[in-house]
Structure 1
């Protein structure tokens, strides 16, 4: 039985993003352990960089649509803060873990850090203008375009690059700054409100039976995100020891 408080189709879409993310990170780990031939450049090769962009975009779109449904369902601030604290706490754990594994390129503002701040901004924006959603589309476009026209050398450091208005990308394993990514979440929020009002079956209709595994994953995104890399790396290292 599906949870009546959830949108099965949104869970399935989020689950698809999770599968893609795990596959991407599996390839990344193989390359990190020098098991891929020829070696891949995950930082500059468009084949990999565009995949990363698409995966992050899909997660943020789902997060925006989830916020639209939460607002429509009357989600209170206490429940929001509980979930937000989980995301923020996991972001700190990612920073600590990455500092141990990648001391020169540790993650100071990755996808969870960005999502924590953007969820707060989106929630506040919805509270300031309840029921008004048309402005979300141009606001999202502006957020997407701003980093292409503005950049400040003073922000080219870990204290300032979270905003996204930099002149060069930081050396880090993951970087999801507020700009331009807030624009994607705002578009997800706008799309969620539009679908709920104009095409409710597209978002709230029953999901096909074959999507059940995706829905299961989509209901546990934070757990899967935190566990998949340690499990993947651990399994690959054990495989490497067995080979030797």
Structure 2
């Protein structure tokens, strides 16, 4: 039995680190499955090694992380356009895992790839015996904000009640320092990391259940962050998601 994380990119796991720590303390087997592929093997290998370095630091083995999307053409930034391939790669990897819990990025409209992982986790839940629960964790969203402005790790009210993971002061310090494992993404974390820990200072780390019907809804009213930054159009993402689910049925 495993806790299975459905993730898009190497480094997404950093925003779920309190959950990883909590499940590790409980002695539960954890498997992180990454579906997005990268423009070059060199970039993919470098970023995968950064994730593995973090997991080793946590006490997890190299087999805890798998790049299931490697070679499937599920491109970083366009997972919604390759959902059938992402699904096949994910199902093949999950077959041997017997998930007791699924964890995915929140359905929040921050990055379309993250939202598609929530969708894939929801479909996995439907397909698996016992329908394991899904926990969703926020990365960033722009609900009610203008332009590229975002909130980091802030649960959307539309996603329901939030639960916390208690950390000691020493664990918070270790969490904050663990960003060092992602040198290739320093340009991302230079803005996201301060926003994350400003949020944590007042609200702590929060996660939510992902209910099955939630991924059929718009993440929140108004323009989504990935729309406002020109990364994707919700109408296209929605059409790809609906076509994928329809074909699965």
Q: Which TM bucket (shorter chain)?
A: under 0.3
Q: Which has the higher contact order (CA 8 A, sep 6+)?
A: 1
User: By percentage of residues, which structure has more helix?
Assistant: 1
The structure with the larger Rg is 1
User: By percentage of residues, which structure has more strand?
Assistant: 2
Per the normalisation by structure 2, the TM-score is: 0.26
Per the normalisation by structure 1, the TM-score is: 0.26
